[in-house]
């Protein structure tokens, strides 16, 4: 046989065998990306630099500039429900955390992730991923519901909802708080600061797994800036004295930055100061100084979180993984108006609330005034389903995957993170897991948005938390607050701050969206809040 004919026959033979999978293909499959989700806790819509904040967040700002900002992204308005939704790609009721981690008789409100959902970690493990978590869990307090039982290879962090940043410290009578390493309780030593510790353990997990050659998924759920307001002295020093202009001026400054940055459109108006917040001029000098200090500590907490995100990104670069990692950042709800006062707290916590926020032994929150600044330009706060409770800054960054320098106003939701992660990893969403039927995901992959491609998104998004309800479809949002239960209608394109209720002039739209909400509520296993059994009741 002539050489050229032999070469042709050999080439055709190899090609045929390769197509049958009998010899390696000449071009290996693209390497799967590492995936990181970073969740802030109780952080408001305008609390990072690229969304208008006074806090210094150069690492998050760089990710936004080199990636994508989504300005109409939503959470579930409260810690536990948002975490359940994020982890499972379901609405929180479908995952078993319809309210908080309190146990109730109804399955949708049992207070921990059920067996008819999978976590992102469980799903990605089937696709060959190492899976790690560091930070606040808050979707199952019993050891059988801890992260290592829900798909994570390694875990370090706070199992519960809140704690001191410096030590393991209960704040309610008969309360046991748990910091855990993998599946064992962990006692922090001297020099512990939770934000640093979460990052250090996350980096350790990544470092220890590098020899496996597998991609990794990391869920880094910072406790910051949830109360108590605890920060390190060197971070507080950057901000102390910078907020003496008062909350009205600070909100106006944030509003101007939000517009200049293109985060909100020209139709958006700054909501009035919340009625529960006094005029700044009415405060004594002592009260002004105390609030300035609270705001300084709050911003310092976010600053330290950003520093740690920078430390994590540097580690990725050192490992040569920075060009093959997609990072997503968001908050679990709007700014918190909660206070450390009155019943439910230990006497020593009430006493610690009287100390300056810069004192490491203090136990303070920044209450309605601070949350009103954090959520600028919106109304209301964590717990409610107005924009101030449910809107979150969202950033996605990933060289070669996320098209840089873009701002997108298409509505997205926590439920989309599961589908997005599986799409990035090219892993199928399971119909069954551990012999349990798995509920279909409610989310839609946002990878097209990341790539700058057309994305149809959701026909509608739905919200319910402790009787507070909402549905958003296109520009329209229907909202009601518990216990009044009266529907209000807003045009978010013209009025993102929800200042003008249009329900009286649009009864047909109210009826249309009410029908949609009721149908969703039945599908998602929502029970009217007043009909729920008491927490802890069996």
What's the token pair of residue 218?
Answer: 């990391």
CA gap 86, 78 in Å, rounded: 12
DSSP letter at 148?
G
How many Å apart are CA 205 and CA 137, to the nearest integer?
Answer: 17
Between the two ends of the chain, the Cα-to-Cα distance in Å is 84
User: Positive or negative, the Cα torsion across 194, 195, 198, 203?
Assistant: negative
CB 210 within 8 A of CB 188: no
Q: Exposed, middle or buried, 435 (CB in 10 Å: 0-12/13-18/19+)?
A: exposed
CB 430, CB 118: distance < 8 Å: yes
Longest Cα–Cα distance in the chain:
101
The token pair at 18 is: 């390769």
Q: Report d(CA 446, CA 69) in Å as an integer.
A: 12
Whether omega before 512 lies within 30 degrees of 0, making that bond cis, reads no
79 is catalytic: yes
User: Is 138 tagged catalytic?
Assistant: yes
Which of 79, 80, 117, 299 does the annotation list as catalytic?
Answer: 79
Q: How far apart are CA 280 and CA 197, in angstroms?
A: 37
Q: Is the peptide bond before 459 cis (omega within 30 degrees of 0)?
A: no
**Of 190, 495, 515, 176, whose CA–CA distance to 346 is shortest?**
176
Q: Which residue has the tokens 């293909």?
A: 25
Query: Residues 6 or more apart from 344 whose CB is under 8 A from it?
Result: 172
Tokens of 59: 């690492």
Task: Give the HSE-up count for residue 289: Cα atoms under 13 Å, Cβ half-sphere.
Answer: 5
As a whole number of angstroms, the distance between CA 23 and CA 329 comes to 42
Residue 42 CA, chain-centre distance (Å), reads: 9
Please identify which of the residues 50, 93, 138, 145 carries the catalytic annotation.
138
Residues serving a catalytic function are 79, 138
């Amino acid at each position: 046989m002539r050489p050229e004919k032999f070469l042709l026959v050999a080439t055709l033979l190899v090609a045929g065998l390769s197509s049958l999978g009998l010899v390696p293909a000449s071009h290996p499959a693209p390497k799967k990306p590492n995936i990181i989700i970073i969740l802030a806790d109780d952080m408001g819509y305008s609390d990072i630099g690229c969304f208008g904040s006074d806090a210094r967040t150069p690492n998050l700002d760089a990710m936004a500039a080199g990636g994508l900002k989504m300005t109409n992204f939503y959470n579930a308005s409260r810690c536990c429900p948002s975490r359940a939704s994020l982890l499972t790609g379901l609405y929180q009721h479908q995952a078993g955390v319809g309210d908080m981690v309190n146990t109730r008789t109804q399955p949708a409100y049992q207070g921990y992730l059920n067996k008819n959902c999978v976590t992102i970690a469980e799903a990605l493990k089937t696709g060959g991923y190492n899976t790690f978590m560091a930070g606040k869990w808050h979707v199952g307090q019993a050891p059988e519901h801890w992260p290592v039982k829900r798909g994570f290879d390694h875990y370090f962090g706070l199992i519960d909802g809140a704690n001191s940043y410096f030590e393991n410290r209960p704040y309610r009578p008969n309360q046991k708080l748990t910091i855990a390493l993998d599946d064992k309780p962990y006692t922090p030593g001297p020099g512990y600061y939770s934000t640093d510790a979460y990052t250090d353990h996350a980096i350790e997990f990544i470092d220890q797994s590098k020899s496996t050659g597998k991609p990794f998924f990391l869920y880094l759920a910072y406790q910051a800036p949830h109360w108590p307001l605890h920060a390190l002295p060197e971070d507080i020093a950057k901000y102390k004295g910078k907020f003496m202009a008062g909350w009205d001026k600070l909100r106006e400054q944030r509003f101007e930055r939000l517009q200049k940055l293109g985060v909100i459109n020209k139709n958006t108006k700054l909501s009035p100061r919340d009625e529960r917040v006094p005029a700044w001029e009415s405060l004594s000098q002592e009260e002004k100084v105390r609030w300035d200090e609270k705001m300084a500590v709050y911003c310092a907490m976010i600053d330290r979180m950003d520093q740690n995100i920078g430390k994590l990104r540097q580690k990725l670069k050192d490992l040569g993984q920075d060009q093959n990692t997609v990072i997503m950042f968001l908050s679990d709800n709007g700014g918190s108006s909660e206070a450390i006062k009155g019943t439910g707290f230990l006497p020593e916590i009430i006493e610690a609330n009287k100390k300056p926020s810069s004192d490491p032994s203090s136990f303070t929150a920044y209450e309605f005034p601070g949350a009103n600044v954090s959520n600028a330009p919106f109304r209301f706060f964590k717990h409610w389903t107005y924009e101030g409770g449910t809107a979150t800054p969202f950033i996605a960054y990933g060289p070669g995957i996320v098209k840089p320098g873009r701002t997108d106003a298409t509505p997205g939701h926590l439920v989309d993170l599961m589908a997005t992660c599986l799409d990035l990893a090219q892993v199928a969403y399971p119909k069954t897991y551990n012999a349990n039927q798995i509920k279909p995901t409610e989310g839609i992959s946002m990878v097209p948005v990341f790539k700058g491609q057309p994305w149809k998104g959701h026909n509608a998004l739905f919200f319910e938390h402790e009787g507070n309800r909402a549905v958003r479809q296109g520009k329209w949002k229907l909202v009601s607050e518990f216990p009044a239960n009266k529907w209000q209608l807003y045009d978010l394109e013209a009025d993102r701050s929800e200042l003008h209720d249009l329900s009286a002039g649009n009864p047909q739209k109210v009826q249309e969206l009410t029908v949609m909400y009721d149908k969703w509520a039945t599908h998602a296993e929502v029970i009217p809040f007043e009909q729920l059994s008491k927490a802890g009741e069996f």
